[in-house]
Amino acid sequence: MAPQIGSFGNVLILLVMTLVRGTQRTGKAFVINLALADLCVAAIADPMCVTAVIKGEAWFNDKVWLCEAVASMCLTACFCAFLSLTLATLNRFVFICHNNWYERLFTKFTCVAACVGSWVVAFFFEFPNFLGWGGHYFDKKNHQCIWNRTNSFSYTLLVSAGLIGGPLTFMLLSHILIFRRIYRTKMSLYVFEEKDPTNKRKLWQEILRTSRMLLGIFCVFVVCWTPYSVVIVLDFSQRLSVEAHLFVTMLAHMHSSSNCLVYFIINPSFRKGVFRILGLSKCVTSGDISSTTYTESRGGDITKISDSKSVLRTTVSASSSSSNLTGKPTALDPSKSSGCEELPPGFSYLDSP
């Protein structure tokens, strides 16, 4: 079922991101690139794994080229998925914490170039398998055509610590800084919203929604790939059982089928886009539709919110004043408390999945 779910889910991501307007505002190129990489694994590599389990090693004896092609494509797509996740995280980090740099760094050209570059870099790190530093073969413990993790410990360590552990560490640190930014910004806004508990509750709900979304994407990567990266290093001498290797490899491959579920469960705008693509617009609930209206104070005050169940949009002042006599809430400059630039007008933390 995993290949079918993964293929269908990643095709849905591609359709929603390319056909439904307003679903994704930042980092769309990286989400699409991630879906393409995951689709290669779910639609090609995973079915070949099933074939290998059913047919056995003998079926590939006269199809060595096919075994090498599947193994190379699978590892390249996995590396590209790691890089795409890293780029998406970097995009989100700059958008939230250093927004003044965002338009200069992430133009359409640089985003497309980064996506193409991720495939080039991914194949660059996979290519040593053709040169003897690694290899491609039918792994009897995994029952599939895969890269040879027992041929060179140095290459195996590079894959585990560098190409899996590196992106994982970067994403962890980035998410910590993102959460720190969101928390400090919201805390500075709370000070001036104590007389409005309803708005305070909405602010807190937004923190929870954003946290669930970011944490979900990161946790899926950790759960799926950490066991595999540990096992291939610790069991270089092939002492663990076939069942253990099958489990960690299957878990790693499930990563390509999981992102669509994360987006669908946590991201209302993506869920709405899926219903539209499938012709199920009547299934869209009020919670999936934001009806936010707001008026922006040119003086830099917090944007007033009027909504049914909305995404909070705020503008943050660079003014040092923290209160006034009229009772109207005035924002602190969160950049001074968080070490980041001020947020842009109309900014929403939930703009990207």
Residue 208, domain member (yes or no): yes
Residue 279 is predicted with a pLDDT of 83
Residue 344 is predicted with a pLDDT of 41
Q: What is the pLDDT along the chain (353 residues), one digit of tens a residue?
A: 778 899 999 999 999 988 887 655 667 899 999 999 999 999 999 999 888 888 888 898 888 999 999 999 999 999 999 999 999 889 888 887 888 998 899 999 999 999 999 999 999 999 999 998 999 999 988 888 999 999 999 999 999 999 999 999 999 999 899 888 877 766 555 554 555 556 656 655 554 565 566 678 888 999 999 999 999 999 998 889 999 999 999 999 999 999 889 988 888 878 888 998 888 766 655 444 443 333 333 333 333 333 333 333 343 333 333 334 334 433 334 444 444 444 443 344 334 44
Query: The CATH number of the domain where 199 resides is what?
Result: 1.20.1070.10
Q: Are 270 and 246 in contact (CB under 8 A)?
A: no
Residue 344, domain member (yes or no): no
What total of structural domains would you count in the chain?
1
Q: Are 122 and 163 in contact (CB under 8 A)?
A: no
Collapse the DSSP code of 133 into the 3-class scheme (helix H, G, I; strand E, B; otherwise coil) and give the result. Answer: coil
Tokens read off for 9: 């889910």
Residue 273, domain member (yes or no): yes
Residue 316 is predicted with a pLDDT of 36
Residue 50, domain member (yes or no): yes
CA atoms of 194 and 106, how far apart (whole Å): 37
Residue 123 is predicted with a pLDDT of 97
Collapse the DSSP code of 163 into the 3-class scheme (helix H, G, I; strand E, B; otherwise coil) and give the result. Answer: helix
Residue 308, domain member (yes or no): no
Q: How far is CA 4 from the centre of its chain?
A: 21
CA atoms of 34 and 87, how far apart (whole Å): 10
CA atoms of 308 and 312, how far apart (whole Å): 11
Residue 299, domain member (yes or no): no
pTM recorded for the entire structure? 0.77
Q: Which domain holds residue 218?
A: 2-289
Residue 338 is predicted with a pLDDT of 41
Helices (H) and strands (E) counted in the chain, each on its own, are: 13, 4
Residue 304, domain member (yes or no): no
Residue 345, domain member (yes or no): no
